[in-house]
Amino acid sequence: MVWKSSSHLVSLVGLLMIAFMCGGASALSLSSGASYVIEWEIISLNTSSVVMTLIFDWVSSLFLGGVLFISSMVMYYSGGYMSGDPFYSRFMYLVFAFVVSMAALILSPNLISLLLGWDGLGLISYVLVIYYQNEKSANAGMLTILSNRVGDVGIILSISLMFALGGWNLLFYGGYMSDEWALTKILICLAAMTKSAQIPFSAWLPAAMAAPTPVSALVHSSTLVTAGVYILIRFSSSFETSSIQSFLLAISCLTMFMAGLGANFEFDLKKIIALSTLSQLGVMMSVLSLGFKDLAFFHLLAHALFKALLFMCAGMIIHGAKESQDIRSMGGLVKMLPATSSCMNLANLALCGMPFLAGFYSKDLILEASFMSGLNFFSLIMYAAATGLTVCYTFRLIFYSLSGSLGSGPMALVSEAHWMMLMPMVILSASAAIGGALLAWMIFPDPYMICLSPLFKGLAILVSVIGALGGYSLNIMSASNSAVSLSVHSPVAFLGSMWFMPFLSTLSVARPSLGLGGSLTVTGDKGWSEYLGGEGGFSSLMKGSQVMQVGQENMVMLYLKSFFMWIIIIFFIFI
């Protein structure tokens, strides 16, 4: 088909052009401080106007440019990865619809218009997760959509509560919300937590790895999982003096620690990267709860560059290894996939915060700003531990997959034959190398100075070195000795299973809820509601209409019977 052969090229050119236009618009907005708002009033009800609002400021333009840039790379990458799929056109349409939904969310400061993109992301993500149509994908898709529906309900309830303000614009009315609007703030915070997979809604994010790898590269870098962070950045003015910040700080610190710990016990290549995304989402949420919204936005953009690259490198390995994702069967990939290994090492180093790569500018600034902000001891320990664990599971991934001897079985057939998959990886590698410096220059043009004691200044380097040495030592022990974890199976099972989060999200919550819903369907919708509701009412009306129809058919026998009936009645009356 013509569409199949040229869709990746069309998407690359079109989305890149719009991305560069958005980047230029964001640079102009940053230099001039101008913002442009377009409103279309749909209906006005009791002085509350339902409007479709689009905002073009430096935040939305820069974020939209980053999303379109990564989306163009992912869609071009899909041309090689999904080339043998019989439903390639359907896949490309779904990915494009996903990008459109994300654009609608980014440009909408109004809760009602934002709901269109918000709900579109949840629905299309479900369709993409179940794309392969097997039992694992179905279970992962159900967990994904049920978790996201909680956030959708929070947004809908927030819309109903904000009706009292006379409008739903977050930028205009967010700053007017005092403590009496605590319920609305809690609902919006709940919606953001579900989309960004914070505890206790963390189970769906690793489960969504059942989707094709290009979808994972798009969803887990700059679109679905960052939607919750983005809405809190837009709504941050109402949380400045709120006690919800303390709660969000504790939850986000636990999330980044739990995800970093779980990644060190995982052997699935894509799930390790997914848990890495979950850890970085905890970092963004924690920085946002401390009041540094620009810094959280900076890390959101920098993280998107190298995380999309990391997923693409994983996709190249999985695609060449005939869908094998177990890192224990890998090894020596640097000899078979030199370009992919180079890009993957670059993305891993950017994730660890290697100086002068994309992750360094945001992560180093985050640690320094958080250490200066008067963190409590719990949050300080979580930050330090999460930083060390990030380096630990990164070196573990490098040890298992890239170093060592050549893999056996399907790994012996890996090759870099798909240039369409390799070209976007090279472009994103350049972005991961210089993108952090460009973003830092755009978002923080003025020089800044942070004064820290030598202890705090060296803390990040210290925990990184300890994490690297510890991860490398543990990997050598696990590769050369017997499994020590069998002697402490219970703690290892708890720590390596995301603190039983998938079990709690499926068995203890989803199954009873689905069972109760099934019982209500049988006894309600298919039972009494049918008898007393629509079906029963229809049956009663049909019987009544049949009686009326008999009376309107003008039958001679009916008139004769009525005549004799009236004669008998009159006879008894006058006797």
Residue 540 clears pLDDT 70, i.e. is over it: yes
User: Are 302 and 399 found together in one domain?
Assistant: yes
SS3 (DSSP) at 105: helix
User: Are 277 and 231 found together in one domain?
Assistant: no
Q: Which residue has the higher pLDDT, 219 or 546?
A: 219
**Which of the four pLDDT bands, split at 50, 70 and 90, describes residue 368?**
confident
**Residue showing tokens 């942070």:** 450
For residue 195, give both structure tokens: 């989309």
* 450 closest CA partner among 530, 366, 368: 368
Report pLDDT digits (tens) over 268-297. 888 888 888 888 898 899 888 888 888 889
Q: How confident is the model at residue 2, as a pLDDT? A: 39
Specify if 157 maps to a domain.
yes
The pTM of the full predicted model, rounded to 2 decimals, is 0.82
User: Are 131 and 229 found together in one domain?
Assistant: yes
User: Are 90 and 149 found together in one domain?
Assistant: yes
Residue 533 clears pLDDT 80, i.e. is over it: no
Least confident of 116-125, 154-163, 407-416: 407-416
Q: How confident is the model at residue 5, as a pLDDT? A: 45
User: Are 231 and 269 found together in one domain?
Assistant: no
Specify if 451 maps to a domain.
yes
Ranges of H-type helices in 235-376: 244-263, 269-289, 293-320, 333-336, 338-352, 358-372
Q: How confident is the model at residue 175, as a pLDDT? A: 62
Q: How confident is the model at residue 7, as a pLDDT? A: 55
* 204 closest CA partner among 115, 301, 129, 285: 129
Q: What is the mean pLDDT of residues 301-320?
A: 86
Report pLDDT digits (tens) over 437-492. 888 888 887 766 677 777 777 777 777 777 777 666 666 555 554 555 566 666 76
Q: How confident is the model at residue 565, as a pLDDT? A: 80
Which residues, including other chains, have CB under 8 Å from residue 50's CB and lie 6 or more apart?
41, 42, 43, 44, 112
The answer to whether the CB of 26 falls within 8 A of the CB of 79 is no
In terms of phi and psi (left: phi > 0; alpha: psi -120 to 50; beta: otherwise), the region of 134 is beta
Least confident of 10-14, 284-288, 305-309, 399-403: 10-14
Residue 501 clears pLDDT 80, i.e. is over it: no
Report pLDDT digits (tens) over 85-107. 788 888 888 888 888 888 888 88
Boundary-marking domain end, from 202, 226, 242: 242
Residue 398 clears pLDDT 70, i.e. is over it: yes
SS3 (DSSP) at 33: coil
SS3 (DSSP) at 449: coil
User: Are 113 and 200 found together in one domain?
Assistant: yes
User: Are 232 and 253 found together in one domain?
Assistant: no
Residue 224 clears pLDDT 50, i.e. is over it: yes
Q: What is the mean pLDDT of residues 225-230?
A: 87
**CA–CA gap between residue 174 and residue 268 (Å, rounded):** 42
Q: How confident is the model at residue 409, as a pLDDT? A: 46
**CA–CA gap between residue 381 and residue 253 (Å, rounded):** 9
Q: How many domains does the chain have?
A: 2
Boundary-marking domain end, from 213, 242, 271: 242
Boundary-marking domain end, from 196, 223, 242: 242
DSSP assigned state of 412: G
User: Are 232 and 287 found together in one domain?
Assistant: no
Q: How confident is the model at residue 520, as a pLDDT? A: 73
User: Are 161 and 57 found together in one domain?
Assistant: yes
Specify if 297 maps to a domain.
yes
**Which of the four pLDDT bands, split at 50, 70 and 90, describes residue 1?**
very low
Least confident of 320-334, 376-390, 453-467, 487-501: 487-501
Domain extent for 232: 1-242
User: Are 60 and 33 found together in one domain?
Assistant: yes
Report pLDDT digits (tens) over 200-217. 888 888 888 888 888 888
Specify if 144 maps to a domain.
yes
**CA–CA gap between residue 144 and residue 557 (Å, rounded):** 68
**CA–CA gap between residue 529 and residue 104 (Å, rounded):** 38
- Give the torsion through C-alpha atoms of 254, 259, 260, 265, to 10 deg: 130
Residue 516 C-alpha from the chain's centroid: 28
User: Are 238 and 251 found together in one domain?
Assistant: no
SS3 (DSSP) at 55: strand
Specify if 511 maps to a domain.
no
User: Are 220 and 351 found together in one domain?
Assistant: no
